[in-house]
Homo-oligomer: A and B are copies of this chain.
Amino acid sequence: MSTIRDVARLANVSVATVSRVLNGSSKVSQKSKDAVLQAQKELGFYLNANARALAQRDSHTIGVVVSQISDPYFGEAVQACDDSIHELGYNLLVGQGYHNAEREKRAIDDLISYQCRGLIVHALALSEKELMAYMDTIPYMVMINRVLPGYESRCINCDNYLGECLAVEELIAHGHTKIAYINSSHTIEDTTERLQGYCDTLEKHGIKYDPSLVFNGSPSLEGGSDAAAQLLAHHQPIKDFTAVACYSDVMAAGLMATLHQNKLRIPEDISITGFDNLFLSTCLIPTLTTVNNPVRQMAEEALHRSLSLYEGKPIEAPHRADVHLVRRDSVTAPKE
């Protein structure tokens, strides 16, 4: 690896000049510029980002931690973040928490030591207390999909409660009264809010909440399948429910696979709703009726807040993203 000094020597200029040319800064004579560029090419030279970060006290880097990058939801979320991040001239660093407190901690710690200029974290396993400690030491840290009391303006999420109400309303509007619910086993705000939306909407229509129709799984495809398997196992033959509302599109996809394996037709036998409106939900057959979760908008909001915080700018009011129902083909009227 050659250094800036090698380039300077070869180009017959000082290191300062090399730095100027390579950073496109201030006035440099065309002659020096050419010499430097030529020398750079000859040596295959790259500025050392670590050294730059150190000297500039700026890593040009934004950290994002999610559960798992291969999960479609987080794939889209990270994508959304990265797009905004690059637009602003920064680079993205991703950490993965794997639904696991230890790993979440490590992911956050790593990003902090990389001196990220912004930090957006999704954590579902760490306790409120631990997260609050982070929020206190890292003033520019922002959370997504989770709200910490006292830190509301640094927590970005969507209206989970309303979203789930809309989904269940849609099922009821089609005539369903026996509605099961597939839930995430991580009980953080979004989970409890969505479940609450489910319960309240049933109640509002005079339908009694039946806990034996609610099953949990990890918020993943596998988790959706698992929960679905439990649901079917506990209700044979299928007559206790005609529809299933799901915590997320991903879990809904898992549910659909399991229903299909069990020769149940969607929506003829069972209607389904998801949550998130991932691209995935348009690929499923039938396409999934779901609640739009504006990840992209939330990513932008989170990024801007984190950046502002880093610069010590005043904090705005809390942000709660709007949701709306997206009607597709997975909901129809119950049979008979």
Contacts and interface: CB of A to CB of B under 8 A. Distances in A.
Given A283-B254, A283-B284, A285-B257, A113 B75 contact: no
Interface of A: 1, 44, 46-51, 53-54, 59, 68-72, 75-76, 78-79, 82, 91-94, 96, 109-110, 112-115, 137, 221, 253-254, 256-257, 260, 266, 279-280, 282-287
Contacts of A254: 283
Contacts of A92: 94
Nearest to A93: B93
Contacts of A137: 44
A12 B284 CA distance: 62
Contacts of A49: 50, 110, 113-115
A219 to B, nearest CB: 15
Which 4 pairs, one residue from A and one from B, show the smallest C-beta to C-beta distance? A44-B137, A70-B75, A70-B79, A50-B53
A166 to B, nearest CB: 24
A48 B93 contact: no
Contacts of A93: 93
B48 A54 contact: yes
Contacts of A253: 283
